[in-house]
Each structure stands twice: as structure tokens, then as C-alpha cells.
Amino acid sequence: MSELLIDERRLVDLALRLVSTPSFTGSEQAAAELMREELDGLGLQVQWQQVEDGRANVLATWPGAGGGPSLMFNGHTDTSYSGREPWLRDIPGFQPDGFERDGRIYGLGISNMKGALACYVEALRALMDQGVRLKGDLMIAAVAGEIEKTQQGDDQGAEFRGYAAGSRYLVTHGGVADMCILGEPTENKVVLAHFGSLWLRLSTNGPFIHTAFSSGRQDENSIVRMGPVLEQVLEWLPSWEERMSYGDVRGVANVGGIEGGFGWRASRTPHRTDLFLDLRVPPDVAMPEAKREALEFGRSLDGVEAEVYVTAPGATIDEGHPLVGAIDESHAEVFGSPPERDVVRWFSDASVLTRYGIETVNYGTSSGLPDAELGENLAIDGLVKTAAVYAGAAMRTCGVA
């Protein structure tokens, strides 16, 4: 296939505009409006999906000539952080204010995953500029609420509604295609599988009494009771990780949080203490099975209440799928060698898309892993090459009329 010209300046300008548009989970609408304006300006069929107040998806379609499968580029607009967190305020790459420096773009969300959204648009523009007409439809979906967050306890509201909230709305309102590329940051590796998530709450209880009357009752304190529970959890987690391995990729788990008592009223014993676990589940283990095993462990602990409050399955795609082949060929054409394979233990919207029959591959540029001093950042050259891969994959997947 002939080489498509990716307009670097156009790509960078859109990426900077996206990064400089704050879109913390629950407040993605401004970013959606930017994408709608951009896609509408290309003459695409644009559908606005109001997920809830202040949150929207944008779904744009470039109709094909017919006779080919449809391909979706899907990317989330929400960012992991707001930039207002005290421990992030002085780190430029964690601020919604994009800038260029020495061939890189810095700013909140550039790697996860506004850079990919910009690549999608530039890939489509490059096809249009060269006069390419695809057989199948090419779609771009910019969705809300993918980040791994959920409502729990007193933490309620849109800012806590993640875990594919936008893509779940997308697929129930017409946003389906034969195949999908998710531009999550994969270091330009083709991700054939990703793990799912199961979040488990373990709780201990105790009396709520004044310090003055607590003498001799320390062993009833819910925080003190949580001590041996945590010890048992740490003894159990390696066995979970071993059983929840996927091929050569070992399972993983995290003690994600603990809450108990009142810092503003330490004169009272805490009536309840909660321990929160993130237990990753491989894509070949059914969620009901994983839930049953997690609850069996939790209920085996003396005096402990156990609750599973997140179940987000993993996803896979067969290595022989045509979409994988299309990305392989396009990557080799752009980078000069075939892409590597990967299995990752993070979550993506492929969890939802695959369950609607949309075969999905995670493939994107560098993760731009957070730097202690700089935060999120990506090489511009990597974005340009990734956009070229997306354009080539679209031609190979949808067919050229």
C-alpha cells in the first residue's frame, strides 16, 4: 500500500488542544464537544450521546462504499487525575495544560489516551487527503468514563463512575462495528489479552465508645481487629496470584485502601474498618468463579464481612484474527519490523466491546509512564508513526474501493 502522509503539525495541534481541555472522570463533556467540532468539520456523520449531565460520547462515521467490514477507533476522554491533587500540582505532565519540548508533548492524558484520539483523527484525515475510499465504514468513538474507578461508600457521583461507563452506553446506542482498535498505550505492542478486575471489601466491626471508657477493650477496636485480617490477606494473595495466572503471565493483586475511624474525632473508637483489595482476574476465568473464590476466602475470616463491588472481565482476541494481521502488516510497513505481542494486567474498554461481538485489539503508542519530575509525556515521532499504522490498518481491514 502506498505511504500516507501524516501531517505532524496538525496531529500535534489537536493533541495539545485535547490535553489542554480538562476532562477528569465525570466532567468529560468539554472534550467531547471539542471532538464533535473536529469530526463534524470533516463532514462525517456525527452522533452525540449524552451519557449523563456533564458527560457525553461522540461517535463519528465515515461511510464506506459498501462491501467491506466496519472498523471502529475507540478512545476514552477521561483522565486518571484532575491535576488538582496536592501530590501532582507541581508536576507539569499531570496538568491539563499541554506543551511541546524537545520533540515530546507533555500534559495530563497525552498517553492515556488523548494522543490516540488525535492519531485517529489524523489517520482518517490522511486517508481523505489522499482520496482513499474505503469499502467498509470507519468510525471514531470518543467515550467517557473508562478509567478504573467506581462508586463505593460515601464516594458517589459521576466522578466515580468509570470502568467502561461510556463504552457501555456506546454499544447500547448504535456504537457497534465488526472490529475495533483501542489506542491504549501499549508501547506499540499488539495486546492479545488483558486481565479483568475484581474488587473485594473486607470489613471488621467494633463498639463506638469514648476513649475514656475504652480501657481493657482494645481487642474490640475494629482497626485492631483488622491487623490479623491483613496478615491473613497477605498470606493468601500469592496463592490467588498463582491460580489466576494466564499462560506465562502471573496474576497480580493489590491492597488498594484501608479506612477506619475519624481523624477529626480520635476520641471515639471506630465502629468499622474496611480493607479494599484489587484482585486481577485472567480472561479465561469466569467472573462468577472468581467472585465465588474471593468470597469464600473473605467469609472464612473470623468476624469479617466480605463484599465484591467491582467485576470487570478481561478480554482476548485470536492471534489469527484479520485485524491482528492488518496491524502487523501496517506496523511492519511503518516501523520496519513486526510488532511484539503482549498480555497486560490492566483493564480496557475491550471488556465491554468484545461482549457485543466487536473483536478488539489494544494497540497504541508509548505509555509515557509517569516520570517523577515530568509526568505524562510522549514522543511526537511515536504519535506520527502510530497514526500511520492506524491509517494502514483501516485500509487493510475495511478494504479500498
Per-residue pLDDT of the chain (401 residues; tens, 9 = 90+): 546 789 999 999 999 999 999 999 999 999 999 999 999 999 999 999 999 999 999 999 999 999 999 999 999 999 999 999 999 999 999 999 999 999 999 999 999 999 999 999 999 999 999 999 999 999 999 999 999 999 999 999 999 999 999 999 999 999 999 999 999 999 999 999 999 999 999 999 999 999 999 999 999 999 999 999 999 999 999 999 999 999 999 999 999 999 999 999 999 999 999 999 999 999 999 999 999 999 999 999 999 999 999 999 999 999 999 999 999 999 999 999 999 999 999 999 999 999 999 999 999 998 877 666 889 999 999 999 999 999 999 999 999 99
Contact 65, 401 (CB under 8 A): yes
| The pLDDT value given to residue 371 | 66
DSSP-derived secondary structure letter, 229: H
Q: What is the pLDDT of residue 368?
A: 73
How big is the chain by its Cα radius of gyration, in Å? 23
Q: Which of 325, 276, 282 is nearest to 152 (CA)?
A: 276
Nearest-CA neighbor of 96 among 31, 20, 159, 29? 20
Residue indicated by cell numbers 489522499:
130
Cα 268 to its chain centre, rounded Å, is 40
User: For the whole model, what pTM was predicted?
Assistant: 0.95
Q: Which residue has the cell 461522540?
A: 58
Q: Give the containing element (helix H, strand E) for 172.
A: none
User: pLDDT value at position 367?
Assistant: 81
For residue 320, the SS3 value is coil
The per-residue b/e assignment along 23-61, b for 16 or more CB within 10 angstroms, e otherwise, is: bbbbbbbebbebbbebbeeeebebbebebeeebbbbbbb
Coil, strand or helix at 194? strand
Distance set, CA 98 to CA 20, 175, 292 (Å): 5, 30, 45
CB within 8 Å of 258: residues ≥ 6 apart: 226, 230, 273, 274, 275, 276
Evaluate whether 366 touches 185 at the Cβ level (below 8 Å).
yes
Q: Is the link from the previous residue into 113 a cis peptide, with omega within 30 of 0?
A: yes
Nearest to 203 by CA among 291, 273, 258: 273
Vertex 140 angle, CA 170 and 45, to 5°: 90
